[in-house]
Structure 1
Amino acid sequence: MEVIPEWMSNLDDEDVAFTKNFLLTSGSLKEIAKIYGVTYPTVRLRLDRLIQKINISEDASNDPFVSLIKRLAVNEKIDFDTAKILITEYRKHSKKSEE
């Protein structure tokens, strides 16, 4: 039975396709840029976001809610300032509940 790591299961179809192309081009960002018809900096940004997604998934110490907010920010569903505010307020509220 094959077990898919959690970080992989959190990737959307576009991320999986990008990862596959990245591997097939031996990690050449220039080749990836040609495949997608975009500039090198655009590919670099995409790779950086993918790395952030994986790091968020791998950080087991994160609360599931905090991980969700971080994923939304990385996926540009909410901006980073809003994510910081939500996480800060959530943590303040969580600490009060524990007391």
Structure 2
Amino acid sequence: MTGPTIPPWMTNLNDEDLTFIKRFLLASGSMKEVAAEYGVSYPTVRLRLDRLIQKIQLGEQLENEPYIALIKRLAVDDRLDFGTAKILITEYRKQLDHRDQQ
């Protein structure tokens, strides 16, 4: 008997992300309650939730374009600025298009 498989969208999430999701669910989706638990403002929780949504969406795209998903994930995690991410993705796509034309 095999154990449960981890959905691809979850592989992009770290322990901190999973803890946030757990707290969010236990708070019945109340961002106000989560903000109080973390001791931060509502907009801070909203931003964190938006970034988690982006990570999950990227996780679903990961199998199709791993390099692009990686660059987007780095940008979402503030490890790469969005301008640089856009340049890297644009250049990568140009190389793919150039290879396809040969």
Work out whether 1:53 is the aligned partner of 2:55.
yes
Query: 2:70 is matched with which residue?
Result: 68
Residue number among 15, 32, 48 corresponding to 1:13 in the alignment: 15
Report the alpha carbon displacement of residue 61 of structure 1 after superposing the two structures with TM.
Answer: 6.8
- Looking at structure 1, the residues matched to 63 and 11 of structure 2 have their Cα atoms a distance apart, in angstroms, of 18
- For normalisation by structure 2, the TM-score amounts to 0.92
- For normalisation by structure 1, the TM-score amounts to 0.94
- Looking at structure 2, the residues matched to 87 and 11 of structure 1 have their Cα atoms a distance apart, in angstroms, of 22
CA contact (8 A) 2:51 2:76 kept: yes
Question: In the TM superposition, what whole-angstrom CA distance separates every residue of 1:64-87 from its partner, at most 9, and x where no partner exists?
Answer: 100000000000100111110000
* Structure 1 portions without partners, runs of 5+: none
Structure 1 runs (4+) deviating above 4 angstroms are: none
Identity rate, percent: 62
Query: 2:40 is matched with which residue?
Result: 38
